[in-house]
Amino acid sequence: MPEDGIDAVIAWFAASGRDLPWRHEDTTAWAILVSEVMLQQTPVARVLPRWQEWMARWPAPADLADATTAEVLRQWDRLGYPRRALRLQECARAIVREHGGRVPHGEEALRTLPGIGEYTAAAVTAFAHHDRAVVVDTNIRRVLARSVSGRALPDRSYSAAERALATRSLPRDRGRSVAWNQSVMELGALVCTARAPRCEQCPLREVGCAWVAAGRPAPQEDGRRTQAFEGTDRQMRGRIMALLRTHGAASQAQLLAEDAEDPARVTRCARSLVADGLAVRAEDGLRLP
Ligand code: SF4
């Protein structure tokens, strides 16, 4: 990415970036870590109210570490992929046990925490500790694929070449690197979107976008398909978790009523929730842990 491209994206963010609470100066590293975990598979609009309630209830790792698992799962509500909630609590407990209740500095230390992978460790390093880190999420991958590589979309799986491109694109200066990470991620979320990029509003258009210059070639066929949600085990797991969050427990009859035509699906999903630690067997059915 040329220097004037970096300047243009940072200036665009200063004028057009969203005012999200986890971006405020006084937000703690723990609150930023929680927001990053929630945002990984859930849109901002759904995360916002849950994050605010979560941080009001459990402002520090020690608070979450002491909560019951049932409370944590109820508070996670419908953010989806609830194993993230369990991992977040394990993470809080590890921070209390091993780091005196404070989020550790450095990607290496962060990656030793439960549930913290390459992306979250880099994001916390950049956005909470304001250090240089190669942050790569789906939005950044897409902006770089288009603007630098001239491709409509990145490959399905994240490659070493993409990481090398993101590393080369990261400004050397620490403050500028933090601003770049935040700005380019927001550009991907708001302007260089997957389905309908708003190139006429994009700061990179003036500087030169390889994909636009190449005449916007179509994406390469990679068998990418969006799996229908209706009828999936993930949907059924969500429905069972909703029952448990509302009532604390569900009888076998209540569970089977969720899909009277396919009791095997209900049984399979109930078993997988128990295996994941999201539910436990009760005398007649399931309950929250
Ligand atoms: S000009 Fe269009 S395709 Fe290129 S980076 Fe901007 S929004 Fe994306």
The CATH number given to whatever domain includes residue 115 is 1.10.340.30
Q: Which of 6, 140, 147, 165 to mutate to test the pocket of ligand 1 (most atoms within 8 A of CB)?
A: 147
* Confidence at residue 1, expressed as pLDDT on a 0 to 100 scale: 83
Sheet holding 280-282, edge to edge: 249-250, 285-287, 280-282
| Structural domains of the chain, count | 2
Q: Is residue 94 part of a domain?
A: yes
Distance of CA 171 to the CA centre of its chain: 24
Q: Whose CA is nearest to atom 8 of ligand 1?
A: 192
Nearest residue to 10 (alpha-carbon basis) of 161, 207, 199, 196: 207
pLDDT value at residue 228: 72
Residues with beta carbon inside 6 Å of ligand 1? 143, 146-147, 191-192, 197, 199, 202, 204-205, 209, 211-212
Structure tokens at 163: 């990481």
Position 142 in a domain: no
Q: Determine which helix (DSSP H) or strand (DSSP E) holds 280, and give its type and residue range.
A: strand 280-282
277 in any annotated domain: yes
- Which of 12, 146, 195 to probe ligand 1 with, by most ligand atoms within 8 A of CB? 146
34, 88 contact by CB (below 8 A): yes
Q: What kind and span of H or E run contains 282?
A: strand 280-282
pLDDT given for residue 229 in this prediction: 76
Cα–Cα dist 110/36, whole Å: 13
Please give the residue range of the domain that contains residue 96.
28-127
Whether 260 is in a domain gets the answer: yes
Q: Which CATH number does the domain housing residue 253 bear?
A: 1.10.10
Q: Determine, yes or no, domain membership for 195.
A: no
36 is catalytic: yes
Residue 178 lies in a domain: no
In a domain, 241, yes or no: yes
The pLDDT profile of the chain, 289 residues, written as one tens digit per residue, is 888 999 999 999 999 999 999 999 999 999 999 999 999 989 999 999 999 999 999 999 999 999 999 999 999 988 999 999 999 999 999 999 999 999 999 999 999 999 999 999 999 999 999 999 999 999 999 999 999 999 999 988 899 999 999 999 999 999 999 999 999 999 999 999 999 999 999 999 988 899 999 999 988 765 555 567 778 888 899 999 998 998 899 999 999 988 888 888 999 999 999 999 999 998 889 999 9
Domain edge (last residue) among 127, 147, 174 = 127
Residue 33 lies in a domain: yes
Angstrom distance (rounded) from CA 136 to CA 181:
8
Report CA(157)–ligand 1 centroid distance (Å).
Answer: 21
**pLDDT at residue number 261:** 85
pTM, rounded to two decimals: 0.87
